[in-house]
Structure 1
């Protein structure tokens, strides 16, 4: 009976398709795929940040709204207010369109178009 149990435990599981894999081997393979997936997602995110580098980043002040900013800068971005707000929401991954003083957001205006904008442009990140 003891020998029979050992032989039985070394047979592949009938649901495994004939593959006999130890838990440690499975964990190693799963870890490898998780690592590769993490690298792929990190690389994809880095490319997005680079694409936004050409746009200006501003700091929100007390009383600012996305709609007010869109209206004040409409001669520079050429979008409707709705398009401006949607772009800012999407590219900044905002959880809502409510912004707070001190928030820093990327706006759809190229940095070189904002030479005359006030001090809200974050100079250290240009």
Structure 2
């Protein structure tokens, strides 16, 4: 294989990877722009992540379980344990 063939192979591979990235990105977002906003909630004594997700799931347009997962992921929580004074970001449509 000469240098020209190798160069063409690298260019074609890069183009294919770029196109695949665009396809998977549009699948992940459903092809729509993310127009949702978020609110910040300060955890009060007695609050649980489940209760917060249950309180805001309709505004977020998600089930309680979906919102619970989203909150943990977006707030980089290792578990569902939260403490009074914690600031939690919640998506709102």
**TM-score of Structure 1 vs Structure 2, range by shorter chain:** 0.5 to 0.7
Pick from 56, 79, 85 the counterpart of residue 62 of structure 2: 79
Per chain length, whose mean CA-contact separation is higher, i.e. which structure has more relative contact order (CA < 8 Å, sep 6+)? 2
Figure out how many residues of one structure are paired with residues of the other and give that number: 58
Question: TM-score, structure 2 length as denominator?
Answer: 0.56
Which structure: larger Rg?
Answer: 1
Q: Could you tell me how far apart the structure 1 residues matched to 2:78 and 2:57 are?
A: 24
* Alpha-carbon separation, structure 2, partners of 1:74 and 1:90: 15
Equivalent residues of 2:61, 2:92 under 8 A apart = no
Counterpart in 2 of 1:42?
none
Q: Secondary structure of 1:97's partner?
A: coil
Please state if 1:67 is matched with 2:55.
no
In the TM superposition, residue 74 of structure 1 has moved relative to its aligned partner by 2.5
Give 5+ residue unaligned stretches, structure 2.
Answer: 1-33
Q: Would you identify which runs of 4 or more consecutive aligned residues in structure 1 move more than 3 Å?
A: none
State the match for 2:79 in structure 1: 96
Map residues 14-93 of structure 1 onto 2, 5 A cutoff.
Answer: 54-93=37-76
Question: Helix, strand or coil: the match of 1:68?
Answer: helix
Q: What are the residue-to-residue correspondences of 1:108-123 with 2, within 5 Å? A: 108-109=91-92
Q: In 2, distance between residues paired with 1:70 and 1:93?
A: 16
Stretch of structure 1 that moved more, 72-81 or 94-103: 72-81
